[in-house]
C-alpha cells in the first residue's frame, strides 16, 4: 500500500541512534540540548524545549501562559483533538473558531466577529491556539493585531509546519506568537519517533515549560526555598509532569534535522506536480498564498461534489492507496458534544470536512506512485 505519509530513515539516522545506545545516556543526555539548539537555530527562536510529544508541548504551553479552570481558550475545529484536549487538561473552557473554506485554517474574519461578540459579554479568550493545517501557516500578522486589540495570548500549533515559512521568516520564530509547537511523529516532516518541541522568545515562559516537563523539579539553587544540602539536592517546586524527550529520540531528531530543507523541497516538488496532474479533475487542490511557504505535511484536496467522497475514498483504498481524511471536526466528537457542541455549530469547518481527502505525500513517494494515485482518483471521479 502507498501510505498517506511515511518517515524517511537513512544510515546516518541509524548510526546516530546506535551511538546513543552505546553511550552512557539513553534518557537524559547531550543529544537533547543539541537537538533543542538545532531547532531553535533553524526556527530563529531564542529557546526550544523538547518533549515526549507535541501534545505534551501544547499542555506545557497552556500551563506556562497561565491557563487554568477560569480560563477560556479558542482554537480551530479542523485539527487533531490534541489542539483542544490540551486546554481541557488544564480544566479550562475550550471554544472553536470557524475556518477558511479554502485552507481549513483559522478564519480571521470569523475570529474578529466572535471576538466582538465576546467583548460585549465579557467572555474574551485568554489564549488562541492557531493550527497551521497541512503545513500552511495561518495569517499570523492579522492574528497578532487582533491579540493586541482584544488582549489574548497566542500559541501556534505548528505540528505540521516545521520547515515552512511565513512572510519570509521560518515558522517557529515566534514573531507573532508567544509559543510555537512542533511535532516529530513519524508521518511529520522530520521524526524523533514520538516527540515534540515548544519554541519561544520569552525566557520566563521557557523556564516554566522546562520546569513543568520534569515533575516541577529544579536543581538550581537560585530557585530553591532554602540553601542546597549538597550536589545531590533538588526541590519539587510545582506539580509537573514526566514530559521529557529521551536522548534516543533526540539523536534521531537531530540527525533528521540535517535533511529538513531537503525533505521540504521534495514535498513542495511533489505538491507542485500534484497540482499539474489534478488541474482537470473536479476538485480544488491546496492554494498557498505567495507570502507563505508550506512544508506540505499533508496534501489535502477538496472535491467539488461532496457526495462522491466516500466512493472515491473507498476506490483509492481498494487500489492500495492509503488516503485519509484530516480531520473530523473536533467539536463533533462525542466528548465535545457532551460539553455542548454539535453538528451545525461551525458550518465552514463541517463543509471543509465533508469535501476533503488527503492524498499520499512523503519524500520517498515516486512519480510513478504519484501517477497511480492520480489515475485511480481520476477513474473514481469520472
- Identify the H or E element spanning 316: helix 309-318
Beta bridge partners of 183: 196
Q: CA 301 → CA 134, 158, 233, 263, 266, distances in Å?
A: 11, 20, 56, 21, 19
What is the DSSP pairing of strand 165-166 with strand 93-96?
unpaired
Close Cβ partners of 373 (under 8 Å, ≥ 6 residues apart): 2, 316, 321, 359, 360
161 grid coordinates: 509546519
Residue with cell 531528531: 253
Angle of helix 54-64 versus helix 82-89 axis, rounded to 10 = 40
Residue with cell 533528521: 256
139 grid coordinates: 495569517
- Is residue 188 annotated as part of the catalytic site, yes or no? yes
For residue 203, the tally of other CB atoms under 10 A from its CB is: 10
- Residues 299 and 274: beta-carbon distance below 8 Å: yes
Close Cβ partners of 80 (under 8 Å, ≥ 6 residues apart): 159, 327
Distance between CA atoms of 278 and 271, rounded to whole angstroms? 10
- Residues 203 and 178: beta-carbon distance below 8 Å: no
Strands (E), the chain: 2-3, 47-51, 72-75, 93-96, 127-131, 153-157, 165-166, 169-170, 179-183, 196-200, 217-218, 235-236, 283-284, 292-293, 299-303, 321-322, 356-359
Q: Which of 169, 188, 279, 306 is catalytic?
A: 188
Which residues are known catalytic residues?
188
Amino acid at each position: 500500500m502507498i501510505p498517506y505519509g511515511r518517515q524517511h530513515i537513512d544510515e546516518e539516522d541509524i548510526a546516530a541512534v546506535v551511538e546513543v545506545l552505546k553511550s552512557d545516556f539513553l534518557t537524559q543526555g547531550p543529544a537533547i540540548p543539541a537537538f533543542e539548539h538545532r531547532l531553535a537555530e533553524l526556527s530563529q527562536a531564542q529557546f526550544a524545549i523538547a518533549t515526549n510529544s507535541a501534545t505534551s508541548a501544547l499542555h506545557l504551553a497552556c500551563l506556562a501562559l497561565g491557563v487554568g479552570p477560569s480560563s477560556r481558550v479558542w482554537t480551530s475545529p479542523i485539527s487533531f483533538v490534541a489542539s483542544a484536549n490540551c486546554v481541557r487538561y488544564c480544566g479550562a473552557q475550550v471554544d472553536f473558531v470557524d475556518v477558511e473554506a479554502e485552507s481549513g485554517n483559522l478564519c480571521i474574519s470569523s475570529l474578529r466577529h466572535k471576538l466582538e461578540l465576546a467583548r460585549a459579554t465579557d467572555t474574551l479568550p485568554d489564549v488562541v491556539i492557531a493550527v497551521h493545517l497541512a503545513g500552511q501557516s495561518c495569517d499570523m500578522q492579522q492574528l497578532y493585531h487582533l491579540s493586541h486589540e482584544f488582549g489574548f495570548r497566542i500559541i501556534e500549533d505548528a505540528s505540521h509546519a516545521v520547515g515552512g515559512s511565513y512572510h519570509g521568516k521560518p515558522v517557529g520564530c515566534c514573531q507573532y506568537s508567544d509559543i510555537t509547537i512542533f511535532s516529530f511523529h513519524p508521518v511529520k516532516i522530520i521524526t524523533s519517533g514520538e516527540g515534540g518541541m515548544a519554541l519561544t522568545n520569552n525566557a520566563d515562559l521557557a523556564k516554566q515549560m522546562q520546569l513543568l516537563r520534569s515533575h516541577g523539579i529544579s536543581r538550581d539553587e537560585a530557585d530553591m526555598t532554602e540553601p542546597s544540602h549538597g550536589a545531590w539536592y533538588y526541590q519539587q517546586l510545582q506539580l509537573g509532569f514526566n514530559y521529557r524527550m529521551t536522548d534516543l529520540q533526540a539523536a534521531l531528531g537531530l540527525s533528521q534535522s540535517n535533511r529538513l530543507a531537503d525533505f521540504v523541497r521534495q514535498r513542495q516538488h511533489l505538491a507542485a506536480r500534484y497540482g499539474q496532474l489534478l488541474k482537470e479533475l473536479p476538485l480544488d487542490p491546496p492554494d498557498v498564498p505567495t507570502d507563505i511557504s508550506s512544508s506540505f505535511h499533508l496534501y489535502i484536496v477538496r472535491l467539488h461534489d461532496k457526495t462522491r467522497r466516500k466512493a472515491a475514498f473507498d476506490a483509492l483504498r481498494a487500489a492500495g492507496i492509503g488516503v485519509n481524511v484530516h480531520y473530523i471536526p473536533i467539536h463533533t466528537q462525542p466528548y465535545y458534544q457532551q460539553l455542548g457542541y454539535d453538528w451545525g455549530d461551525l458550518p465552514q469547518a463541517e463543509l471543509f470536512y465533508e469535501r476533503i481527502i488527503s492524498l499520499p505525500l512523503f519524500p520517498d513517494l515516486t512519480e510513478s506512485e504519484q501517477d497511480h494515485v492520480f489515475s485511480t482518483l481520476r477513474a473514481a471521479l469520472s
